[in-house]
């Protein structure tokens, strides 16, 4: 069996890459739902439907465990997927994990008391980060900021505009001297982690999920050997997307530092499920 990693688009590739660096032997299948990207501006209902379909595809490809790398999908869909979809599905013994609680745990372990988070509209609107934080440690504060322009700029080669947009979003948080730690609460934002310090200054630390999820996964495997043992260790990795463009493939190659083979899935209109496409479609 395999480890599945799901994101709406590109950002989760950074998490796939960092997991691969830490655990090069485990077999991975990555799925980017590029056909429905961006998730962040959609309704919870739509994000849930897209997420369930993506997870279902990864399970159909023999994934024992899926990491919902996408924060927006974690916010909109994770609990329902774990508590309703899985028990009712043919994949009862499989597992789905998200990224929100592990990210908050890392911020808390770092001793930070005043957190800031930038995330998609939907992630912020669900209040998932403040709500989960309150459960873990109500003494810690969190300021949220919707940053809806970042994903479209990242996905569409808008690098020239990113510094001024980042400055626009981040300056108010910094001016109030309100935060000690900034959570990059969207997989895509890991691509910006080298540009952000020049805006927020060296005294605010940054949490980038590509740097924390691999260790959290190792920790999970240590506690759940039965899942770890199910996953094949042949160092294989496969990439699927629901829509394939030249620019996506180019950025994916840049992220991995070499050319990667990305296969296309096709949304079957009858079953409403993703199936592996025989290109071109
Ligand atoms: N990757 C998603 C996340 O982590 C955001 C991108 C999108 O809007 O689709 O929240």
Pair 18, 210: CB distance under 8 Å = yes
Identify the band that residue 155 occupies on the pLDDT scale cut at 50, 70 and 90. confident
Could you tell me the end-to-end alpha-carbon distance of the chain, in angstroms, rounded to an integer?
28
Ligand 1 centre and the CA of 40: distance in Å?
A: 5
Ligand 1 atom closest to the CA of 10, numbered from 1:
1
Residues forming the active site: 70, 186
Ligand 1 centre and the CA of 226: distance in Å?
A: 30
Domain boundaries, the chain: 2-99+212-276, 100-209
Residue nearest to atom 1 of ligand 1 (CA): 70
Same fold, 2-99+212-276 and 100-209: yes
Identify the band that residue 280 occupies on the pLDDT scale cut at 50, 70 and 90. very low
pLDDT on residue 156 = 81
- Over pLDDT 90: what percentage of the chain? 91
Q: What angle do CA 252, 28, 102 make, to 5 degrees?
A: 90
Q: Which residues on neighbouring strands pair with residue 95, listed in sequence order?
A: 65
In this structure, the strands spanning 141-146 and 95-97 are unpaired
For a ligand 1 pocket test, name from 36, 68, 70 the mutation site with the most ligand atoms within 8 angstroms of its C-beta: 70
Q: Which of 54, 81, 53, 67 is nearest to 20 (CA)?
A: 67
The CATH code of domain 2-99+212-276 reads 3.40.50.1860
Class of domain 100-209: alpha beta
Identify the band that residue 176 occupies on the pLDDT scale cut at 50, 70 and 90. low
Burial of 95 (0-12, 13-18, 19+ CB in 10 A): middle
Q: Dihedral of CA 177/178/184/186: which sign?
A: negative
Q: Which of 280, 220, 206, 218 is nearest to 95 (CA)?
A: 220
Ligand 1 centre and the CA of 72: distance in Å?
A: 5
Say if residue 281's pLDDT is above 50.
no
Cα-based distances in Å from 221 to 22, 23, 67, 106, 232? 13, 11, 13, 18, 13
Mean pLDDT is lowest, of 87-96, 130-139, 246-255, for: 246-255
Q: Average of pLDDT values for 97-124?
A: 97
């Amino acid at each position: 069996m395999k480890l599945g990693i799901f994101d709406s688009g590109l950002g989760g590739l950074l998490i796939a890459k960092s997991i691969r660096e830490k655990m090069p032997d485990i077999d991975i299948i990555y799925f980017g739902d590029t056909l429905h990207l961006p998730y962040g501006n959609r309704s919870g209902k739509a994000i849930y439907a897209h997420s369930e379909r993506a997870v279902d595809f990864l399970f159909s490809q023999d994934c024992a465990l899926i990491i919902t790398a996408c924060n927006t999908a974690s916010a909109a869909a994770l609990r329902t997927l774990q508590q309703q979809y899985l028990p009712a599905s043919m994949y009862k013994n499989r597992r789905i994990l998200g990224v929100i609680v592990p990210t908050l745990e890392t911020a808390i372990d770092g001793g930070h008391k005043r957190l800031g988070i930038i995330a998609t509209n939907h992630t912020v609107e669900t209040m998932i980060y403040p709500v989960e934080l309150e459960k873990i440690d109500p003494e810690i504060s969190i300021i949220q900021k919707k940053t809806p322009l970042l994903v479209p700029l990242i996905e569409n080669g808008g690098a020239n505009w990113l510094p001024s947009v980042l400055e626009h979003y981040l300056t108010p948080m910094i001016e109030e001297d309100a935060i000690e730690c900034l959570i990059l609460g969207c997989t895509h934002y890991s691509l910006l982690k080298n540009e952000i310090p020049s805006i927020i200054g060296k005294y605010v630390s940054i949490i980038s999920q590509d740097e924390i999820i691999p260790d959290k996964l190792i920790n999970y495997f240590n506690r759940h050997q039965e899942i770890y043992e199910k996953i094949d260790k042949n160092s294989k990795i496969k990439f699927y997307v629901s829509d394939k463009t030249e620019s996506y493939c180019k950025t994916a190659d840049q992220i991995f530092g070499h050319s990667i083979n990305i296969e296309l899935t096709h949304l079957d209109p009858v079953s409403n499920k993703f199936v592996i496409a025989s290109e071109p479609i």
